[in-house]
Amino acid sequence: MAKADMIGASLWDAYSNKVTTLMNNPRYQGEIFEAEAESRGHKLIVADFGAESCGDAVRLYWEIDPNTDTIVDSRFKSFGCGTAIASSDVMTELCIGKKVEEAVKITNIDVEMALRDTPDVPAVPPQKMHCSVMAYDVIKKAAGLYMGVDADSFETEIIVCECARVSLGTLQEVIRLNDLKTVEEITDYTKAGGFCKSCIKPGGHEAMDYYLVDILADTRREMENEKMKAAADAQAQGNMKFEDMTLVQQIKAIDAIIDESVRQFLIMDGGDMEIVDIKKNEEHFDVYIRYLGACNGCASSSTGTLYAIESTLQEKLSGYIRVLPI
């Protein structure tokens, strides 16, 4: 087989059988005329959307029952590649029978998944994923026309990866929670950047407003700044006299000492304790505690244990601390 034929064959194999079938035999291609819809007491919505990056365009027809806001019929016209035709056909099918508010929740991922032959194998090569994104955008356009609102109002978050519908907020949160350090890790966790790859860095299939490389760098920088600030705060608090701390700082300082030097011994005996309140009483700081578990009612809780807790806090924080059980 010639090299060109081998390349052509491998590209063709990247499309699912459903896609290749619908490219040539779409089931919902066509028009709905206003007179037809009106004769059935329905409202016709016609929405157009074009993708500047590839020149593809799609026109979506919705025949809607205004009494129930249900899309009773739908058709499309597509001006573009075969993938755009197949995506538009499945998108049209997914709309039929849904209320407008339900249809607007259909995403490009839903369209692409419906085009797959098997759940784990993508229906199209990564560079063609934008065709299903176009289907998603024309749905928003049609819903906006019917509901009398701007199509952008359906988008409540900044979408970074159009292919996987991953938002800026989700990416920042995932990076923070999982301490991600590479774009590859971001893709593994979120699928962002796993399709057309335009959102990874400048120079891809489409120009984007946000790129994963920048989001990762900015978020990592913020994380480092927060870590440095937390360390500085901890050091400042460590150098601060207990008497000069705020009530919240005093409680945190006492909790830290209890965790470090006391709590493990209480837990070994089946008990525990908690700080209830701190009150300034002339020169003293009265720390009110509550015993939990086996410590509650134990004889030593008001003698040896209490003395040990008070002595530890006086040694490590302030000699003016008094511990009072309640």
Task: Give the tens place of pLDDT for each residue, 200-233.
Answer: 999 987 889 999 999 999 999 999 988 888 767 7
Q: Which tens digit of pLDDT belongs to each residue from 18-29?
A: 999 999 999 999
**Chain centre to alpha carbon of residue 319:** 49
The C-alpha atoms of residue 256 and residue 268 are separated, in whole angstroms, by 18
321, two tokens: 């601390």
What is the share, in percent, of the chain residues with pLDDT greater than 90? Answer: 53
- In the three-class reduction of DSSP (H, G, I as helix; E, B as strand; rest coil), residue 205 is classed as coil
Residue 90 confidence (pLDDT) above 90:
yes
The C-alpha atoms of residue 75 and residue 62 are separated, in whole angstroms, by 7
The C-alpha atoms of residue 217 and residue 200 are separated, in whole angstroms, by 12
Q: What is the pLDDT of residue 3?
A: 38
Contact present, 222 and 216 (Cβ < 8 Å): no
The C-alpha atoms of residue 257 and residue 260 are separated, in whole angstroms, by 5
Percent of residues in the chain assigned helix, strand, coil, to nearest 5: 50, 20, 30
Burial class (CB in 10 A: 0-12, 13-18, 19+), 209: exposed
Q: Tell me what the pLDDT averaged over the chain comes to.
A: 87
- In the three-class reduction of DSSP (H, G, I as helix; E, B as strand; rest coil), residue 256 is classed as helix
The C-alpha atoms of residue 255 and residue 313 are separated, in whole angstroms, by 10
CATH 3.30.300.130 assigned to domain 243-325? The reply is: yes
Pairing between β-strand 321-325 and β-strand 284-293 as defined by DSSP bridges: parallel
Contact present, 133 and 153 (Cβ < 8 Å): no
Which span out of 153-162, 169-178, 216-225 was modeled with the highest average pLDDT?
216-225
Residue span(s) of the chain under CATH 3.90.1010.10 come to 3-153
Total residue length of the chain: 326
Residue 299 confidence (pLDDT) above 70:
yes
Q: Which tens digit of pLDDT belongs to each residue from 128-150?
A: 776 777 787 899 999 999 999 98
Residue span(s) of the chain under CATH 3.30.300.130 come to 243-325
Catalytic annotation on 163?
no
Residue of 54, 161, 163, 199 marked active site: 54
Q: How far is CA 39 from CA 44, 62, 96, 300, in A?
A: 11, 15, 19, 88
Split at pLDDT 50, 70, 90, the class of 4 is very low
Consecutive H or E run containing 23: helix 17-24
Q: What is the CA radius of gyration of the chain?
A: 32
Residue of 81, 95, 131, 161 marked active site: 131
Q: Which CATH number among 1.10.3210.10, 3.40.50.1820, 3.90.1010.10, 3.40.1390.20 corresponds to the domain 3-153?
A: 3.90.1010.10
Contact present, 124 and 115 (Cβ < 8 Å): yes
Helices 304-316 and 247-261: crossing angle in degrees, nearest 10, is: 120
> Which one-letter DSSP state was computed for residue 14?
T
Consecutive H or E run containing 137: helix 130-147
For the chain, the first-to-last Cα distance in angstroms comes to 88
Catalytic annotation on 131?
yes
State the pTM of this model.
0.54
168, two tokens: 């800026």
Q: What's the order of all strands across the beta sheet hosting 321-325? A: 271-281, 284-293, 321-325
